[in-house]
Amino acid sequence: MASITNNQSKEDDEQYSELQGRQIIGNNHDLTTQIILHLPSNSIFNLKLTSKLWLSISHDHLFIKTHALRHPRRLSGVFLRYVAQPQASSHAYVASKSNDNTTPVPFVAAQNSLGLNIVQSCNGLLLCSCSDIEYYVCNPMTMQRKQVPLPKGVRPGGYFGLNLAFDPRLSPFYKIVCVSKLFGHRSRFQLEVYSSETGQWKSVGDPFIETDVLHFKQGVFCKGVIHWLKTTSSCLYFDVNNECLRSTPEPPLGKQCASYSHEFFGQSNDHLYFVVKRHLPNFTLLQMKDDYSGWFVKNVVNLDVLAETFPIMARNLDRTPRFLLLYECNVLCIEESESGSDIDGDDLELVLSMPGKIVRFNPRTNASREFGELVRQPYNASSWYKDFLAYEYFETICPV
């Protein structure tokens, strides 16, 4: 009897010691911070409700920045906005097969029920609008949504563009750059910047003149700079932190520029990319030099190789005039590894849409694989996702 009592007492002591150890760890701010830093964003979001300490740490600005620096950005998936019926908000989400995290299905359902359209994506945050009157910044992972007022001089329905600037590796705060055409002036524009840190808009510099047509609603944020594409294929860019406006050289399209069409303009891993296509069988992938002195050819993408694996992208070639021959395939986004281990670009992949599929394609190795399962399709299995606008999704714990 005494032996049983002693064993029970020993077990109780061990359980108490283990519980005491957990409490010590759980109440140690520095140790808990180091543990949480190793967790992915979605785990931190799910676990921050377990204790006040974890919640406090996850909202700390230095922690958010350090966590972003330790965890390379990985494309979780793409949001697709159906634009064939622009009066009806209709979003879908396609998760990357290489990503094991939970897909933001509740966010998609909320977007559709509220009638909000995604306007831009930037490193995990989304800029959304309701009938171009109300604008919101959203975090799909946390389901947070914050309305951002328009600048005082900007009228709903007027000519203006809002562009999201956010990099959690530099700051947990985001900025929104507004470019608006001055009333009564054909070619005069004003820049204004909103900061989530202050919650205020401010005008930047004097109005500037731009006679070329600029896509101010389709800015690309890369390395602290927002880039806008001109009809001449050159770019105007705005350095958000230094608040200065400059131009970039045109891509080297040569004398046959008229026979090219703009296929994609975006960024990955702090590199600016421009994709053009002529006729079969190639895309040309151009990359901006780091010093902005010009563009260079990163890859010539041979689509014949891809068509051998996915023949559906060539389903209409025999019914198309020879001078219009194009594969049913378009670039949704580009994903480049942040590891920096491959100078030759073996880690760069194009995410492409084609009838009924979204695939990854490595233009250097010619390797291809399906990107992920299609959550919804508007027509049938042969539908082409060119009817959608695509927005990249990266997980982030940053509040809005």
pLDDT at 13 exceeding the cut of 50: no
pLDDT at 273 exceeding the cut of 90: yes
pTM of the complete model: 0.84
How far apart CA 3 and CA 6 sit, in angstroms, is 5
From the number of C-beta atoms within 10 Å of its C-beta (0-12, 13-18, 19+), residue 111 rates as buried
- What's the angle, vertex CA 173, arms to CA 169 and CA 176, rounded to 5? 110
- The pLDDT, as a whole number, for residue 198 is 94
From the number of C-beta atoms within 10 Å of its C-beta (0-12, 13-18, 19+), residue 307 rates as buried
- DSSP annotation of 384 reads B
| Domains of the chain, earliest start first | 2-66 (no CATH), 72-393 (2.120.10.30)
Q: Is 184 left (phi over 0), alpha (psi -120 to 50) or beta?
A: left
In this predicted model, what pLDDT tens digit does every residue of 229-262 receive, in sequence order?
Answer: 876 656 789 999 999 998 888 776 654 444 456 7
Of the ranges 165-179, 196-210, 344-358, which one carries the lowest mean pLDDT score? Answer: 344-358
How far apart CA 166 and CA 269 sit, in angstroms, is 14
Q: Which helix (H) or strand (E) holds 336?
A: strand 330-336
- The pLDDT, as a whole number, for residue 257 is 47
Higher pLDDT, 83 or 108: 108
381 band by pLDDT with thresholds 50, 70 and 90: very low
195 band by pLDDT with thresholds 50, 70 and 90: very high
- The pLDDT, as a whole number, for residue 16 is 40
355 CB-side CA count, 13 A = 14
215 band by pLDDT with thresholds 50, 70 and 90: confident
Instruction: Read off φ and ψ for residue 19, nearest 5 degrees.
Output: -65, -40
Higher pLDDT, 53 or 85: 53
Counts for the chain of helices (H) and strands (E), in that order: 7, 23
**CB contact at 8 A, 398 and 125:** yes
